[in-house]
Structure 1
Amino acid sequence: MRIDEKAVEERVKELVKPIVERMGYRLFDVEFRPEKGWVLRIIVDKEGGITVGECEEISKRVSALLDVEDLIPFSYFLEVSSPGLTRELKKPEHFEFFTGRKVRIILREPVQGKRELVGVIKGVEEGIVKVEVEGQVVHIPFSVIARANLEM
């Protein structure tokens, strides 16, 4: 059976975001993909991090909602987790949320002659991520970012 993974992710985001936010958390991302069986991964966060117990409580509420909505017509594993300390930043809003934090960015094409930058996120504006590297603010188009992770 063929299913549109991106459509499932978007619909799950729409359904889950209000629940997660009412509980005092932030929906960081949703992933739906085949691994060893299908996995629906809901990644949540809050200032100061999230505990395993909090993930379990979110999982219970989300699972009940997804059972009622019946979006996925076959069995899958539901996983609720934290993005982790060196989390990957995939969207402009992830960079906005972590303004002031240290990040490592791998680029698809060089910016100011470099393909890898480590610096502090200064903000995001109109598709441009601003990162302070060695005392200088570098403007990086989001479209050239291949991968970005928070640094410790």
Structure 2
Amino acid sequence: MQIDDKAIVSKVKEVIAPVIKKMGYRLFDVEFKPERGWVLRIIVDKEGGITVGDCEEISKRISSLLDVEDIIPVSYMLEVSSPGLTRELTKSEHFDFFTGRLVKIILKEPIENKREILGYIQEAKENLVIIKSKEDGSILHIPISAIAKAHLEIEKW
């Protein structure tokens, strides 16, 4: 059986996003991929962070919803988790989700003589992230396609 994982992710997002928002959480990402069998990973966040209890509550609510909607034509494991303190950022929506947070970006090619940038996410647009450098306060406009790797950094006081 051919599985269209992108279509499934899109449909799952469409169905669960309003429920997760109504519960007081933000949907960070949805992944559907083969690991040891198929895994549907729902990644959520809220102000102050996510607890195991939050994950259980969300899992119960969306599990029954997904059963009713019957979106996924194969058996799968449902995982609900938080993005984590140093979550990797790969999409424009990820950067937008964490506006204001400290991020470390490694570029494929240097921009303004910098290959590694530590700064605060100011804004994220469709294919661009705007970062304020922690080092010198300069504003950098970085195309998402120029990023080799990016992840949240923990603020050190």
Structure 2 distance, partners of 1:44, 1:95, is 14
Q: How far apart are residue 7 of structure 1 and its match? A: 0.8
Aligned length: 152
Question: CA offsets, 1:44-67, max 9 Å, x none?
Answer: 001110111011011011110111
Q: How far apart are residue 125 of structure 1 and its match? A: 4.2
Q: Percent identity?
A: 66
1:137 aligns with 2:145: no
Q: How far apart are residue 27 of structure 1 and its match? A: 0.5
Matched residue, 2:85: 85
Matched residue, 1:48: 48
Q: How far apart are residue 90 of structure 1 and its match? A: 2.3
The DSSP-based 3-state class of the residue aligned with 1:122 is strand
TM-score under structure 1 length normalisation? 0.92
Q: How far apart are residue 105 of structure 1 and its match? A: 1.0
Structure 2 distance, partners of 1:73, 1:131, is 41
Matched residue, 2:148: 146
User: For structure 1, which runs of at least 5 residues remain unmatched after alignment?
Assistant: none
Check whether the contact 2:90–2:150 (CA below 8 A) recurs between aligned residues.
Answer: yes
Check whether the contact 2:28–2:97 (CA below 8 A) recurs between aligned residues.
Answer: no
Detail structure 1 runs of 4+ shifted over 4 Å in the superposition.
none
Q: CA RMSD in A?
A: 1.4
Check whether the contact 2:129–2:142 (CA below 8 A) recurs between aligned residues.
Answer: yes
Change (3 A) 1:61 1:126: closer
Structure 2 distance, partners of 1:115, 1:5, is 33
The DSSP-based 3-state class of the residue aligned with 2:33 is strand
Question: CA offsets, 1:36-94, max 9 Å, x none?
Answer: 11100000001110111011011011110111111222211000010100112222232
Q: How does 1:2-151 map to 2 (within 5 A)?
A: 2-125=2-125, 127-133=127-133, 134-135=135-136, 136-151=138-153
Change (3 A) 1:62 1:142: same
The AA in structure 2 aligned to 1:111 is I
Structure 1 distance, partners of 2:131, 2:6, is 29
Structure 2 distance, partners of 1:71, 1:11, is 7
Change (3 A) 1:126 1:18: closer
TM-score under structure 2 length normalisation? 0.90
Q: Which segment drifts farther, 129-138 or 89-98?
A: 89-98
